[in-house]
Structure 1
Amino acid sequence: MIFPPDIQIPSHLQPYISRVWYAEGPAENAFPIFADGRTGLIFQQSGMTLGSQGKKLAHSFVFGQTLDPIILHTQPNCRILGLIFHPHVLPSIFRLHAKELTDECMDISLLPALPQVNLNEQLWHTSSPQRQFEILFSYLEKIITPIDLTMQYATRQILASKGKTSLKYLHYQLNLTERTFERRFEQYVGISPRLFSNIAQFQAALYMLDNGQFSKLSDIAYANGYADQSHFIRWFKKFTGVTPLEHCRNHSILKMTGC
């Protein structure tokens, strides 16, 4: 895959966009996607398909929280541009309840509350990746509304603590009842705060695993707040479809650690 120079996210869009993603290359590729707490927008010129069933995806689509592991397949001579959003911003951009897109993606042209702008046509007729990102940024500038600051604070705290923050103390800090906190969290993030914490915990453990920062699996389990190794394995398999050792074998991580 070929990557262009760094794309700078405009400062006024940084509260909405976490990072950008770009890939281009002549060969077919498969991208495994695991739960990471983020949502986003993708434009692709490759005939991208989803999963083993080969579901065709729109050229421009929005995706919500990913819970079940999936694989994105690209065709030869692909170009993919991605905007990865902060966890809490889908309603502030697309005027929808975030839970509607959990484990789903939607053609951006089918979102009824958005202005009728032929985004695909503009992107298809632009050869420069830099200019294509500028078109996407300009599009977002026209449709964003203010973010929910309570949900911004809540998701940041959960991610920063790697899922270990007390949810009871968090909704107490925000002066919200537990039920109001949970309802608003699902509206803006798409999943419950407890499940979001589980994802943050899993991602911290996955990072240790992928970087060989362990001598045995129980090291990862205890470092990331799991009750024991079995607890860690159950959650890992839920989000990836395989056990940690199977993941290691698939990615040759055992060679790094000597396990």
Structure 2
Amino acid sequence: MRNYVPIQAPTIENPPPDSSYTYHEHLPSPPLTPYVACYWTLDYQASSLQQPLHRILPDGCVDIIFNLKAPAASTSGFITGLMSSYEAMRLTQDQSLFGIRFFAESVRPFIHYPASDFREGPVFLEEAWGLNVNQLNEEMVTALDSAHRMDLVERFLMGVLGQNNVRSEPLLEHGMQYLYAAKGRITVRALAEKLNYSERNIRRIFQKELGVSPKVMAEIIRFQYLLQELHQARLTRFPDIAAQYGYYDQPHFINSFRRLYGMSPKQALSDRSWNS
């Protein structure tokens, strides 16, 4: 059973409640939990006084996003592929987004294509699903609130799941379960031994289905697990984190964190007391 809860920067950075920038996450209904990590919303009201930096972290997931302020409903929905490095953007214009965060190994029944097809950049839902999706696009844009939008997407996703016979690649699913169980602390060689497949075969499947190697995916999962530890203050000393998560030493941990987050762990968690 998957025990993996991806976390994003706004949850870590926790903007003040009176901010013009808000981010919220909501859990899916039980039938969709094997596929969907969460639904999320991001809203920002442009202000000359506050132009926040919105940071997106690698989380091993694929997102369907609805831009609720798109000029045309037909271009409001799009798919973004798995990320292997962080992105940061300065918000200067009004934003209102609703997202569906899928586990990468479980998304194929919904998007009909391997997640690797979406690594090069966003793809409009219309291109992936055809004109039938335009009604959903329009309903999402005109819905009154997030609760209504969650109801819309849940009904749509359950319909897609029931109507097609596309299934995820079994070797990928099994491999990902081992990565989650090890919290990313597993070599490709050890993964191959557990799956009873060659390393070459495993690399080929991960690259074909996700667009990244199993080593990169393991690194993302390890980063996400330790991020949860830091966020929940279960570990507070960087040397302890480095040792528990298999880094060579503290500098190795900090450099890896900086590459995936865009800043050091001390900077990311500057509003708390951490021992470095």
Decide: shared fold, TM above 0.5: yes
Change (3 A) 1:209 1:8: closer
CA shift, 1:83, in A, is 1.1
**How many pairs align?**
242
TM-score after normalising by structure 1: 0.78
Residues 31-60 of structure 1, C-alpha deviations (whole Å, 9 max, x = no match): 311111111111132469xxxxxxxxx521
Report the Cα distance in structure 2 between the residues aligned to 1:173 and 1:162, rounded to whole angstroms.
15
Point out the more displaced range, 127-136 or 190-199. 127-136
Show the counterpart of 1:53: none
Show the counterpart of 1:22: 41
Percent identity, aligned pairs only?
A: 23
Show the counterpart of 2:29: 9
Point out the more displaced range, 116-125 or 193-202. 116-125
Q: Residue type matched to 1:243 in 2?
A: S
- Residue pair 2:63, 2:80 contacting (<8 A) in 1 also: yes
Report the Cα distance in structure 2 between the residues aligned to 1:2 and 1:211, rounded to whole angstroms.
18
Report the Cα distance in structure 2 between the residues aligned to 1:10 and 1:212, rounded to whole angstroms.
28
Report the Cα distance in structure 1 between the residues aligned to 2:176 and 2:101, rounded to whole angstroms.
15
- Residue pair 2:104, 2:115 contacting (<8 A) in 1 also: no
Change (3 A) 1:227 1:7: closer
- Residue pair 1:66, 1:103 contacting (<8 A) in 2 also: no
- Residue pair 1:66, 1:102 contacting (<8 A) in 2 also: yes
Kindly report the root-mean-square deviation, in angstroms, between the aligned alpha carbons of the 2 structures.
Answer: 3.0
1:60 aligns with 2:77: yes
Match of 1:123 among 137, 140, 147: 140
- Name the SS of the counterpart of 1:116 in structure 2: helix
Change (3 A) 1:155 1:223: same
Change (3 A) 1:70 1:47: farther
CA shift, 1:226, in A, is 0.4
Report the Cα distance in structure 2 between the residues aligned to 1:93 and 1:3, rounded to whole angstroms.
23
1:162 aligns with 2:154: no
Show the counterpart of 1:252: 271
Show the counterpart of 2:125: 108
Change (3 A) 1:10 1:208: closer
- Residue pair 2:179, 2:186 contacting (<8 A) in 1 also: yes
Change (3 A) 1:86 1:2: closer
Change (3 A) 1:47 1:123: closer
Return 5+ residue gaps in structure 2 as ranges.
1-21
Report the Cα distance in structure 2 between the residues aligned to 1:109 and 1:170, rounded to whole angstroms.
37
Show the counterpart of 1:43: 66
Change (3 A) 1:59 1:83: same
Return 5+ residue gaps in structure 1 as ranges.
49-57
Q: Residue type matched to 1:157 in 2?
A: Y
Report the Cα distance in structure 1 between the residues aligned to 2:41 and 2:204, rounded to whole angstroms.
34
Report the Cα distance in structure 2 between the residues aligned to 1:3 and 1:195, rounded to whole angstroms.
28
CA shift, 1:7, in A, is 5.6
Report the Cα distance in structure 1 between the residues aligned to 2:76 and 2:239, rounded to whole angstroms.
43
Report the Cα distance in structure 2 between the residues aligned to 1:146 and 1:198, rounded to whole angstroms.
26
